Amino acid sequence: MKILVPGNVPFDIVPDLDDPADVAVPYVMREPIPDEHLDAEALVTWSTPPRVLEDAARRLTGLRWVQTLSAGPDAALGAGFAPDVVVSSGRGLHDSTVAEHALALVLATVRRLDRSLAAQRDHVWDRALGKEQASAEQGRTFTLDGARVTIWGFGSIGQRLAPLLAALGARVTGVAGTAGERAGFPVVDEPGLPELLRSTDVLVSVLPATEETKHALDADRLALLPPHARFVNVGRGATVDEAALVDALANGRLAGAALDVTETEPLPAESPLWDAPNVIITPHVAGGRPQQAQQFLTEQVRAWKAGGAARLRNVVER
């Protein structure tokens, strides 16, 4: 079996192969697959541009399996691979890093670090910030202690993040396809979301990009949030109506936002998000790099060899 793996990444992802007949061949992620490797049976992707994936979907006619190292498989799913090509995601490889970044963004927006950094650049000691934090009205919005935090998309990343927030005193509720309890936290389903949003202090989105989640956070749902609420997105930018978000921020209907992802990436210089009030933007770095990717790929290859898709982890329904 020939497995194509990204060869120009700053970490080792080449799986250990037990069968001498198997070979892992490196390819350059931003270039089309060379003609001599069109016979590959498996393709591993990591931040591979859509044009390269689309080209691979057309030309790799013998392909049977695509393994993405991204938590969200949306790029692979949108590339046009044949229906019989199995797609599996890297879910679980980014839980710790994305949870850390989400926590950092939550704390940064709640503690108004964007204001402090702006004042630092201007060599200004922002006395107003301290007065707001001490006030009876504003003070409670400066802390996670007692804050009602909603995690929208309560999968493995959300479940890793929830106890970190709870350790700081937050009251965490998840949103998932099925209501109940997960990892010791209450979970509501989509029908229960509107009522939950009305009492949310911090909304954290870990939603994947699918047809169903396109602009899931729209003007109507933004209007349900209290004006003091803050929004953090470490999922996918396509899940947010950015025009509605900018409008809510500009008109004081939302207190702030911290975004690691945007609908168009890189975010265009002319995007209104750059200058929207009380916004923190990081350049899609929450995941950073997949953790234990080599071990994961080794296990996945062994599972594939032992029983195909039936033995793989994280197979995506298509």
Contact 88, 315 (CB under 8 A): yes
Token pair recorded at residue 241: 């109506």
Burial 173-203 (b: 16+ CB within 10 A, else e): bbbbeeeeebeebebbeeeebeebbeebbbb
Instruction: Report the C-alpha gap between 262 and 146 in whole angstroms.
Output: 29
Instruction: Report the C-alpha gap between 158 and 151 in whole angstroms.
Output: 6
| 236: annotated active-site residue | yes
| 265: annotated active-site residue | yes
CB atoms within 10 A of CB 127: 9
For 50, 59, 61, the CA distances from 38, given in Å and listed in that order, are 18, 7, 7
Contact 226, 179 (CB under 8 A): no
| 123: annotated active-site residue | no
| Catalytic residue chosen out of the listed positions 284, 289, 299, 317 | 284
Instruction: Report the C-alpha gap between 137 and 309 in whole angstroms.
Output: 55
Q: Collapse the DSSP code of 237 into the 3-class scheme (helix H, G, I; strand E, B; otherwise coil) and give the result.
A: helix
Could you identify the residue written with the tokens 């044009």? Answer: 51
| Catalytic residue chosen out of the listed positions 160, 221, 230, 236 | 236
| Catalytic residue chosen out of the listed positions 31, 58, 265, 318 | 265
HSE, side-chain direction, 13 A CA sphere, residue 203 = 30
CB atoms within 10 A of CB 283: 12
Query: Phi/psi class of residue 143: alpha, beta or left (left: φ > 0; alpha: ψ in -120 to 50)?
Result: beta
Catalytic residues, which ones?
236, 265, 284
